[in-house]
Amino acid sequence: MRMTVGLLEDGKKKASANTAVQRNMKGTKMNDNTCTDEQRQKWTLALQQEMGLPESGSVADAVRWFATGVPDEPMGVQLSTLAMENRIDVVSAIFQSEHDPEPTAFAVAYRTMIGADFGGCLPVALGKDQPLALYAPQAQYLYQLDERGTLTRRTGQTVKGLQLAHRRAMKRLRRAAAAIDLSTSNVTWETLRPGDREVLKASIGHIVVNAA
């Protein structure tokens, strides 16, 4: 699903959805394992870590990291609204069901001058020693964290050997998630509910949101 959410003159939100297809879900296999909140937390933290965010967070406090179910249009609008009204960008690890021990897709709500773009993307490894990036193949958007921990977007980008780059990224994420010890983490978690329009502010920007 890819949509653009903007503000109308009366302050209401307007969503323009270009497609309702979860393109990154192709080939997803269900499993019999039970996913726990801890697993979602570990995967979300692993994504932060592998994209280059230090464990201490970022003073810029410009990104929120979510773990969600498969987003429908209302959730896409809600995440985009949170991005606009809280002046943050949103990165989401998507779990197809509560039984999935790892994400089946990822998404970004990225602020623009006129609203926020929401759409699916793939983690990709662009180099052995480089932080992971997120890539939207249909839109040719490449998302990366800059030196301030702010999410940037480059347009018109192609990734050579996309499938291999994605497999390598997922291998890194699995390894990172397995190594995370939540008992030593300083991350604050909060639950996002339908209708919520604010997220907790942090002095160092190390907040992860778990959306049911």
Domain that holds residue 146: 2-211
Mean pLDDT check: name the lowest of 34-48, 73-87, 158-172.
34-48
Cα(18)–Cα(35) distance, rounded to whole angstroms? 31
Mean pLDDT check: name the lowest of 20-24, 81-85, 109-113.
20-24
pLDDT tens sequence across 173-193: 999 999 999 888 777 777 777
Mean pLDDT of the chain: 81
Tell me how many domains the chain contains.
1
| pLDDT exceeds cutoff 60 at 87 | yes
pLDDT tens sequence across 117-128: 999 999 999 998
> Which residues are within 8 A (CB) of 49 and not within 5 positions of it... i.e. 6 or more apart?
55, 176, 180
The radius of gyration computed from the CA coordinates of the chain, to the nearest angstrom, equals: 16
The model carries a pTM of 0.79
> Is the separation of the CB atoms in 205 and 63 below 8 Å?
yes
* DSSP one-letter string for 119-187: EEEEEE--STTSPPEEEETTTTEEEEE-TTS-EEEESS---TTHHHHHHHHHHHHHHHHHH--GGG---
Mean pLDDT of 96-112: 90
* 9, two tokens: 């003159």
Going by pLDDT thresholds of 50, 70 and 90, the confidence category of residue 18 is very low
> Is the separation of the CB atoms in 120 and 105 below 8 Å?
yes
